[in-house]
Amino acid sequence: MSRACGGNGGVIINVSSMAGLMPAPQQPVYTATKCGVIGFTRAMAETSKRENYGVRINTMCPAFVNTPILKTIDEEENMGKYFKDRDAIRKMMSNFGILEPAAVADGLMKIIEDETLNGAVMKITKTKGIHFEDYATGYLQEVQEVVMRKDPEEANEEVTESRKC
């Protein structure tokens, strides 16, 4: 897929979850994996841009969607010690509502069609529909950009200098 490997480029859409952006205390490992998907996506999107892969890499974070995964909270084998918390999850579903899979398909189509999107973290919720996580990356972005241009010590001095008031 990567142009660097003779491919035609394209778009990758990784599936995270709103649980990757907010803690789900009834499923900490699920939360961790979904956070990981977001971090990996954002880093690879930047790599792809720098290395000219021609591949856009984005991720989507749906809230609850009406699929068989929702039933897994009723299985003790899946939930382990958090089986006792299934009522709290049911309450979240009832508070936040449950999306239909078509809402996720709309999000997928938007990412495919909008060629400006790379490293985007798309949220899909019942109340706000499709929207995006906004990251205040100013300082780290600045460090990254300077480091790419200079040797690390010089870069460190330049960034520190620019932050002085």
Ligand X SMILES: NC(=O)C1=CN([C@@H]2O[C@H](COP(=O)(O)OP(=O)(O)OC[C@H]3O[C@@H](n4cnc5c(N)ncnc54)[C@H](O)[C@@H]3O)[C@@H](O)[C@H]2O)C=CC1
Ligand Y SMILES: CCCCC/C=C\C=C\C(=O)C/C=C\C/C=C\CCCC(=O)O
Q: How far is the CB of 15 from ligand X (least distance, A)?
A: 4
Whether the CB-CB separation of 70 and 62 falls below 8 Å is answered with no
List, in sequence order, the alpha helices (H) in the chain: 28-51, 76-79, 86-96, 101-113, 138-149, 152-163
Whether the CB-CB separation of 70 and 98 falls below 8 Å is answered with yes
* 141 near ligand X (CB under 6 A): no
Interacting span for ligand X (CB under 6 A) from 47-55, 59-67, 126-134, 147-155: 59-67
The radius of gyration of the chain from alpha carbons, rounded to an integer in Å, stands at 19
* 63 near ligand Y (CB under 6 A): yes
* 68 near ligand X (CB under 6 A): yes
Q: How many residues bind ligand X (CB under 6 A)?
A: 9
Q: How far is the CB of 17 from ligand Y (least distance, A)?
A: 3
Footprint of ligand X (CB under 6 A): 15, 17, 62, 64-65, 67-70
